[in-house]
């Protein structure tokens, strides 16, 4: 028979319904694209080159054999040519019935093995070759039918994998080409072709989504990869590759959130997580990412805190730390401990440098250690005597309000004999009492203070050798200044005598009473004061003293023997009175508003503050002050030091 004979007229008449299929899909199908429609029609019409009236009638089996013969040219989308065309491999059959039987046997074995169309030894080419030779072969026709069923089953299996497997989709296309060549008008083939077309359309959408994803167009604004993914899932909500791409878009948004967090942009990170949450409606991955970002946010807060603390000692560090604190406030929840810590450290740096209020410390000084210092907190107070104070003098007024915006340090106690000795040994300094050969000391026989020869800083209140832990006496204001100048030089720190305002502020320690402890009688153990129960070695008592008070000492006590005040300082209210840096002025009018020392160059009179072991109750008041010549030395006055921080 001629290999170019036209199929039966009935088969050619099937062309119109086949084309109509592409524009009027069944319930399970969707429209095919133009290229596939043209190819499908051409496959049906292949070989119909003669008039239908000239074609003799043929059997259905022979019709199937004719439809796969010849060359098919695809117009339209050439990209699909390879997948829309199938030509049966040429099978060479020998003459005679034995060759047909052998071919049927081989075809049956290939069908059993699932080898359906790939080569000349596959089932479908063999069955077609037998039908070409013997159109009435029932075994070949039945075998071809079984092969088509098996082929469609393979195609369906491939379509089941085609969602995320390009090779499976390629196999499904090949099955489609073969099935269209064999039975283009059968409903099962038409349904299968519709499924393939749908799979290809989904693949194209997914490929577009992949391109958008690779280009970084995720679709947070309504387009890009996410829009393509949603288009695919609208066609098939379980489509594997679309589901994978949706997860990939979500992951990419989470990565952008993490990148933003790594750069400290947690607002941007939160926005990206909101976008990611909208992808799958609050999937667990976003919740986990929020947990991770919250951990990273807390780590950033801690890092900013550490950077702020590290910045504080540097020049301009307080402003740098404040800027870091502002960034922390944006990131942190209310009440965050790290924010509170940095804010406190900034406050401390503003007011105390590297110290804390109440902190005790010593500095290296000349191969040893300087006196123990206490950090006095910053704050304000009312300096001077109240109007109702009956013992106050005009020099203690007018009362004024002062504030120290920065803390300072005072020595824990008065400077001791041992501490002053280190200074003298290091410098060879000779005090005023040494140079002039006398000082004022207590005389037990007369009960008064008398001028006594060869009394200097080494002696106690009565002129005897002093222990190292007693406050140094018999030193002038200039001797005290010489000590602090040396201490500042050997320590490299800003040591000085305290100002009068600093002394009273530290003496009151937050109190507002007549005395450092309040308005009533002194509590037991508050300090070395004049009590009416005190007795001298010879049995003397005080004529003007606090009632019912006995501190156990006649003369200065070893420093630190009594209870410290609220600022942690000892002996401000008693033991010995102390030199301060201010020159004497008859009142506080025009005194510095800052609380700094009021100094006039070359002044001859300097201020003494604080009660002593021999001071009357009036001289123990918080506002009491007295003038003394800068070269004066006696058994009642010592000093302590201040230091800037």
What's the CATH code of the domain at 597? 3.90.1580.10
In this structure, the answer to whether residues 163 and 115 fall within a common structural domain is yes
Write the DSSP symbol of residue 78.
G
- Paired tokens of 190: 């038409």
In this structure, the answer to whether residues 375 and 482 fall within a common structural domain is yes
Question: Which of 153, 181, 206 is the last residue in one of the domains?
Answer: 206
In this structure, the answer to whether residues 500 and 618 fall within a common structural domain is yes
Establish if 458 belongs to a structural domain: no
pLDDT along the chain (645 residues), means of 10: 34 31 34 37 35 35 44 38 74 92 95 95 95 94 96 95 88 94 94 93 94 95 93 92 93 95 92 93 86 93 95 92 95 95 93 92 94 97 96 97 96 98 98 98 96 98 98 98 98 98 98 96 96 96 96 97 97 98 97 96 96 98 98 98 96
Write the DSSP symbol of residue 31.
P
Torsion over CA: 270, 271, 277, 279 (sign): negative
In this structure, the answer to whether residues 160 and 49 fall within a common structural domain is yes
Write the DSSP symbol of residue 52.
G
In this structure, the answer to whether residues 304 and 202 fall within a common structural domain is no
For the chain, the farthest-separated pair of C-alpha atoms sits apart, in whole angstroms, at 163
Token pair 């039945």 is found at 142
Paired strand residues for 376: 408
In this structure, the answer to whether residues 173 and 116 fall within a common structural domain is yes
CB contact at 8 A, 272 and 252: no
Question: 192-227 burial string, b = 16+ CB within 10 Å, else e?
Answer: bbbbbbbbbbbbebbebbbebbeeebbbbeeebbbb
In this structure, the answer to whether residues 323 and 410 fall within a common structural domain is no
Distance CA 22, CA 7 (A): 22
Establish if 82 belongs to a structural domain: yes
Preceding amide of 487 cis, omega within 30: no
Domain total for the chain?
A: 4
Token pair 């009491």 is found at 624
Q: SS3 for 464-531, per residue?
A: CECCCCCECCCCCHHHHHHHHHHHHHHHCCCEECCCHHHHHHHHHCCCCCCECCECCCCCCCCCCCCE
Task: Give tens-digit pLDDT for 334-361.
Answer: 999 999 999 999 998 999 988 999 999 9
State residue 10's pLDDT score.
33
Establish if 287 belongs to a structural domain: no
Question: Which of 282, 315, 340 is the last residue in one of the domains?
Answer: 282
**Residue 308 DSSP SS3:** helix
Establish if 357 belongs to a structural domain: no
What's phi and psi for 93, nearest 5 deg?
Answer: -105, 135
In this structure, the answer to whether residues 241 and 315 fall within a common structural domain is no
Angle at 104 between CA 100 and CA 109, to 5 degrees: 150
In this structure, the answer to whether residues 242 and 166 fall within a common structural domain is no
Angle at 473 between CA 471 and CA 479, to 5 degrees: 110
CB atoms within 10 A of CB 588: 20
Angle formed by the axes of helices 123-133 and 97-113, nearest 10°: 160
Among residues 500, 549, 499, the alpha carbon closest in space to that of 524 is found at 549
In this structure, the answer to whether residues 419 and 519 fall within a common structural domain is yes
Token pair 């590297």 is found at 354
Establish if 452 belongs to a structural domain: no
**Residue 347 DSSP SS3:** helix
Its domain, for residue 311, covers 300-352
What does 384-449 look like in DSSP terms, one character per residue? S--TT-TT--GGG-S-EEEEESS-EEEESSPPBHHHHHHHHHHH----HHHHHTEEEEEETTTTEE
Question: Which of 256, 282, 308 is the last residue in one of the domains?
Answer: 282
Establish if 290 belongs to a structural domain: no
In this structure, the answer to whether residues 63 and 189 fall within a common structural domain is yes
Establish if 466 belongs to a structural domain: no
Paired strand residues for 364: 369
Establish if 488 belongs to a structural domain: yes
Strands 577-583 and 637-638: parallel
In this structure, the answer to whether residues 553 and 487 fall within a common structural domain is yes
């Amino acid at each position: 028979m001629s290999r170019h004979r036209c199929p039966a007229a009935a088969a050619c008449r099937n062309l119109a319904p086949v084309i109509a299929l592409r524009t009027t899909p069944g319930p399970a199908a969707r429209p095919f694209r133009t290229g596939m429609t043209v190819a499908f029609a051409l496959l049906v019409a292949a070989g119909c080159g003669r008039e239908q009236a000239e074609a003799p009638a043929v059997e259905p089996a022979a019709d199937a054999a004719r439809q796969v013969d010849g060359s098919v040219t695809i117009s339209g989308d050439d990209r699909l040519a390879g997948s829309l065309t199938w030509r049966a491999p040429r099978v060479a059959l020998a003459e005679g019935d034995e060759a047909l039987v052998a071919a049927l046997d081989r075809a049956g074995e290939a069908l059993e093995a699932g080898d359906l169309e790939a080569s000349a030894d596959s089932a479908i080419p063999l069955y077609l070759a037998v039908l070409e030779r013997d159109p009435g072969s029932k075994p070949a026709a039945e075998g071809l039918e079984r092969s088509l069923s098996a082929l469609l089953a393979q195609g369906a299996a491939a379509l089941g994998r085609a969602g995320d497997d390009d090779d499976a989709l390629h196999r499904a296309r090949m099955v489609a080409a073969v099935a269209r060549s064999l039975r283009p008008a059968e409903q099962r083939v038409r349904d299968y072709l519709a499924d393939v077309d749908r799979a290809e359309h989904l693949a194209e959408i997914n490929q577009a989504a992949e391109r958008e994803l690779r280009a970084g167009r995720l679709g947070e604004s309504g387009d890009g990869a996410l829009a393509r993914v949603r288009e695919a899932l609208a066609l098939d909500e379980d489509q594997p590759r679309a589901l994978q791409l949706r997860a990939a878009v979500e992951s990419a948004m989470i990565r952008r959130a993490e990148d933003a967090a790594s750069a400290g942009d947690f607002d941007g990170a939160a926005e990206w997580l909101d976008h990611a949450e909208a992808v799958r409606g609050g999937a667990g991955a976003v919740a986990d990412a929020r947990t991770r970002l919250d951990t990273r946010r807390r780590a950033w807060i801690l890092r900013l805190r550490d950077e702020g603390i590290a910045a504080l000692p540097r020049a301009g560090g307080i402003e740098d730390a404040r800027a870091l604190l502002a960034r922390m406030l944006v990131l942190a929840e209310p009440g965050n401990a790290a924010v509170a810590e940095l804010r406190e450290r900034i406050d401390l740096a503003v007011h105390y440098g590297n110290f804390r209020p109440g902190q005790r410390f010593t500095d290296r000084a000349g191969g040893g250690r300087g006196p123990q210092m206490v950090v006095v907190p910053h704050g304000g107070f009312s300096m001077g005597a109240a109007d109702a104070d009956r013992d106050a003098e005009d020099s203690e007024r007018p009362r004024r309000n002062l504030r120290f915006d920065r803390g300072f340090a005072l020595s824990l106690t008065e400077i001791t004999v041992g501490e002053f000795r280190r200074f003298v040994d290091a410098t060879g300094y000779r005090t005023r009492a040494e140079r002039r050969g006398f000082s004022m000391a207590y005389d037990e026989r007369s009960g008064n203070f008398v001028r006594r020869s060869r009394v200097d800083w080494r002696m106690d209140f009565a002129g005897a050798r002093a222990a190292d832990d007693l406050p140094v006496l018999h030193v002038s204001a200039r001797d005290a200044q010489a000590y602090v100048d040396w201490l500042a030089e050997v320590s490299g720190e800003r040591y000085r005598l305290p100002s009068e305002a600093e002394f009273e502020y530290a003496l009151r320690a937050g109190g507002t009473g007549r005395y450092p402890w309040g308005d009533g009688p002194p509590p037991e153990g508050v300090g070395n004061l004049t009590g009416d129960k005190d007795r001298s070695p010879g049995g003397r008592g005080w004529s003007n003293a606090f009632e019912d008070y006995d501190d156990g000492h006649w003369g200065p006590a070893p420093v630190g023997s009594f209870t410290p005040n609220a600022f942690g300082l000892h002996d401000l209210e008693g033991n010995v009175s102390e030199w301060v840096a201010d020159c004497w002025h008859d009142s506080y009018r025009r005194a510095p508003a800052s609380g700094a020392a009021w100094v006039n160059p070359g002044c001859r009179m300097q201020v003494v503050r604080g009660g002593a072991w021999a001071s009357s109750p009036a001289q123990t008041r918080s506002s009491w002050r007295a003038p003394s010549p800068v070269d004066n030395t006696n058994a009642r006055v010592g000093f302590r030091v201040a230091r800037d921080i």
